[in-house]
Amino acid sequence: MQDKITQILQDIKLGNFQAIARAITMVENMLDGSEVLLQHLSAQKDTKVVGITGPPGAGKSTLVNALLHYWMQQNKRIAVIAVDPSSPFNLGALLGDRIRMSEFYNHPNVYIRSLASRGALGGLHHQIYEVTDILKHANFDYILVETVGVGQSEIDIAGMADCTVVTLVPEAGDEIQTLKSGIMEIADVFVVNKADRPLAESLINSLKAMLHDFSTHQVEVIKTIASQMEGIENLSLAIDAILKKTDIHKERKLALTLEKCWRIIQHNKMKLIIRTEIEAKLSNELLKDDFNLYKFCAQF
């Protein structure tokens, strides 16, 4: 097993897409060898994670497409993680990578992976951190993570991204009033997409006014028409400016790493507990008149 893992890691380092896909599948499904693989990943601090989030219908996929076009002209290597809603039948992604960004599907410098959210409440995927770490090992220039959609509770992307881009459309003027307590705090860059529509300037002015109250650092508001590649260069420059500010999310990164550490330890401890054994004991204990759930759980 160790030799196989070593070979996979070497192939990932060389940018072998098949090895990357194999490693992600291992981790996503927690297959044998996945923990050993993760423990031997080398951190690549030069690879930056850019989160693309926003309400459904804001044009996130179109924006990712436009960024890919722009960065391909600069010979960048890009990995895209597109987190999709889950199928209620098999928990797979409803929108696959053949549908999204199809023109880049076979591009040698673009790796695209669709992940199903599988009920994760944060708009991401339960193994998103591990998948991202695998892609960092592969020496991409950027890793783009596109979320399912965002609301007040769905702000996990801000914890893992070096730069969080929140995408809105002009019609979202009323919507940001309900989202602002979460959205305004996580955005590093706001994009008003489809900016040729009416109300675009009104939304931009509202965002700039609200940023004074909610943002702890300077946040740019960029106008784009992603389907026509308008404003994409300005967006790329704004993203790069955030990525150069190495200490902007220092506290956020500490909190994220602590959360990841806690989850890994929790998962490892739980491996010693077998659910079917708990069920067998619980079925008997539940029949007792003096059953106490907390006393029962304390024995494990």
pLDDT at 122: 46
Q: Please name which of 143, 100, 145, 101 lies closest in space to residue 123, comparing C-alpha atoms.
A: 145
pLDDT at 119: 46
Which tens digits make up the pLDDT trace of 97-120? 445 567 888 899 999 998 875 444
CA angle 236, 239, 242 (to 5 degrees): 150
pLDDT at 80 over 90: yes
pLDDT at 214 over 90: no
- Once rounded to an integer, what is the mean pLDDT over residues 254-281? 82
Domain spans, the chain = 1-41, 44-248, 257-298
Looking at 6-10, 60-64, 177-181, which range is the least confident one? 177-181
Residue 144 pairs in a beta bridge with 50, 80
pTM: 0.81
**Exposed e or buried b for every residue in 21-49, given b needs 16+ CB within 10 A?**
ebbbebbbeeeeebbebbeebeebeebbb
CATH superfamily, domain at 44-248: P-loop containing nucleotide triphosphate hydrolases (3.40.50.300)
- Once rounded to an integer, what is the mean pLDDT over residues 212-231? 86
| C-beta of residue 62 within 8 angstroms of C-beta of residue 193 | yes
